[in-house]
Structure 1
Amino acid sequence: MPNQTITLYCLPCAGASAAIYFPWRRKAPHWLRIEPVELPGRGMRSGEPPIPDFERLTAQLTNELAEQLSGPFALCGHSFGALLAYGIAHGLCANRKQLPVALFVAGCSAPTFRDDTRLARLDNDDAIIDELRELRGTPSELFDHPELLRLTVALANADFSACRSFRRLSEMPLDLDIFVSGGLSDEVKLEGLYAWSLESSRRTDVTLFEGGHFFLREKEELFLADLFAKLAQFR
């Protein structure tokens, strides 16, 4: 059906909540519904313990998402969220559920190009705090509030643990388009972005933006314009 509404489910980066995607709702075209996905342990799910295992986390998110699917949808994730989106897509495929029209991954190396050495050192509070400072995606004032910082570090620790437990889910590529985006100043290597082509039997498109790991925030207007234009082709 032409001109139908598309739902975009958005997965957050490590330590973050679904709230980072709320501003996108005001900027989305009328035919696009932005649906931020909240992970256990944060936001409206703060009463639930975070899940530090990738397989268990994506299995739970896949089951929750499958129950609410209605009409065409896409998955979008940044950094750790990109891996979660990938895991959910494979989970839906394995369970013979409706597949997304496309997968959007930002600031994340492909499953065959993982940097396990970097992840291995993110196993203590000091290393995680240093990582959060270096990535420049955490509000600077948070580092002056010990209680808020403690909560953020605890969530990031669980997410990094889940990330360390990640394994490539299948040799079989997904039967959907994958759109990849990255920052020109990010530590994620270009080879890691282009390696996403191994995960799709269809089209893989790579778009680069000025900025670092949080380029989608630094260049939000350009990033969203590109995202919405790519989604429009699936209406």
Structure 2
Amino acid sequence: MLRLLCLPYSGASAMVYARWKRQLPVWVDVRPVELPGRGRRFAENLQTDLRGLADQLAGEVAAHLEQPYALFGHSLGGLLAFELAHALRQRGLPTPQALFASAASAPSCRDSHCELAEEQSDAQLIERMRRLGGTPEAVFADEEMLRLTLPVMRADFLLCGRYDYRRRPQLSCPIHVFGGKADRISVESLSAWQDETRAGFSLEMLDGGHFFLNSSEARLLELMLGHLRPSNQPSDAALA
């Protein structure tokens, strides 16, 4: 069994990964990570300090790392997965089998997100959400749903915009990156993830825009499985 901790993108709850439990083989234990202020944690305060949030999550998941695990994050979730990996290492916890970053610029290439460091108005948030895609039109048409969604988006954009990259020793797990062929994120900023690991790197470009997570889901999961192994399967190093 391998535990797959999945971190959501801006504005999303852990439920976006619920269907993966049916689509991945039984040896993959899909564990969507719910962030404060949404889903079953709706009553908790939203966070705007990404490194602080990663440290909080590290404390919460520490007890669930008794078996091999991997980290996956899409967009904001990719950056959060990276900081979570560092927070877990700082606590002396086991290293993930792999870190998957999807539709996320490398931590060192996030200058384009600086404009999000200031709190966005409702109009600015709505315009950006439409531009990114991925938000059902029904959300914009439903005043109550929009009222619940905007504070989460505002906090999540601040998480991105106020992120302060710090160079640290490279991670000892491989980093596998996925990008959308029609996304605005450049191949260069995706490739820069390789500077964050000493254990291997790959980059795969999938059909679709920023939310190829949905449009190319089957291919994404296929590629991920190619980089994972059940806990009872020895590594290549052990076989050598």
TM-score range, shorter chain: over 0.9
Q: Does residue 147 of the first structure (1) align with residue 137 of the second (2)? A: no
User: Is the CA contact (8 Å cut-off) linking 1:7 and 1:74 kept in structure 2?
Assistant: yes
User: Is the CA contact (8 Å cut-off) linking 2:34 and 2:40 kept in structure 1?
Assistant: yes
In the TM superposition, 1:104-119 aligns within 5 A as 104-114=100-110, 115-119=112-116
User: Is the CA contact (8 Å cut-off) linking 1:122 and 1:128 kept in structure 2?
Assistant: no
Rounded to whole Å, the distance in 2 between the matches of 1:167 and 1:204 is 23
Q: Give 1:132 shift.
A: 1.1
Which residue number in structure 2 is paired with residue 73 of structure 1?
69
Q: Given the superposition, is the C-alpha separation of residues 121 and 185 from structure 1 closer, same or farther in structure 2, using an over 3 Å criterion? A: farther
Quick one: which amino acid aligns to residue 68 of structure 2? P
Rounded to whole Å, the distance in 1 between the matches of 2:121 and 2:137 is 20
User: Is the CA contact (8 Å cut-off) linking 1:90 and 1:169 kept in structure 2?
Assistant: no
Q: Give 1:126 shift.
A: 1.3
User: Is the CA contact (8 Å cut-off) linking 1:175 and 1:200 kept in structure 2?
Assistant: yes
Q: Does residue 85 of the first structure (1) align with residue 81 of the second (2)? A: yes
Q: Give 1:117 shift.
A: 4.0
Describe the superposition over 1:60-104 as per-residue Cα deviations: whole angstroms up to 9, x where unpaired. Answer: 111101122111000000000001100100001111111111100
Quick one: which amino acid aligns to residue 91 of structure 1? A
Structure 1, gaps ≥5 residues long:
none
Q: Any idea what SS the aligned residue of 2:31 has?
A: strand
Describe the superposition over 1:25-74 as per-residue Cα deviations: whole angstroms up to 9, x where unpaired. Answer: 00011111100000001111111111111122111111101122111000
Which residue number in structure 1 is paired with residue 224 of structure 2?
227
User: Is the CA contact (8 Å cut-off) linking 2:104 and 2:185 kept in structure 1?
Assistant: yes
4+ aligned runs moved over 4 Å, structure 1: none
In the TM superposition, 1:1-235 aligns within 5 A as 5-114=1-110, 115-120=112-117, 123-232=120-229, 235=233
Stretch deviating more after TM superposition (169-178 or 28-37): 169-178
Q: Give 1:172 shift.
A: 1.3
TM-score between the two structures when normalised by the length of structure 1: 0.94
Rounded to whole Å, the distance in 2 between the matches of 1:220 and 1:197 is 23
Q: Given the superposition, is the C-alpha separation of residues 223 and 64 from structure 1 closer, same or farther in structure 2, using an over 3 Å criterion? A: same
Quick one: which amino acid aligns to residue 147 of structure 1? E
Supply the RMSD in Å over aligned alpha carbons. Answer: 1.5
Rounded to whole Å, the distance in 1 between the matches of 2:42 and 2:87 is 24
User: Is the CA contact (8 Å cut-off) linking 1:107 and 1:213 kept in structure 2?
Assistant: yes
Quick one: which amino acid aligns to residue 163 of structure 2? F
User: Is the CA contact (8 Å cut-off) linking 1:121 and 1:127 kept in structure 2?
Assistant: no
Describe the superposition over 1:205-227 as per-residue Cα deviations: whole angstroms up to 9, x where unpaired. Answer: 00000100001111111111111
Rounded to whole Å, the distance in 2 between the matches of 1:65 and 1:233 is 20
Q: Give 1:116 shift.
A: 3.0
Q: Any idea what SS the aligned residue of 2:64 has?
A: coil
Rounded to whole Å, the distance in 1 between the matches of 2:33 and 2:92 is 21
Q: Give 1:118 shift.
A: 4.4
Which residue number in structure 1 is paired with residue 236 of structure 2?
none
Structure 2, gaps ≥5 residues long:
234-240
Rounded to whole Å, the distance in 2 between the matches of 1:37 and 1:20 is 10
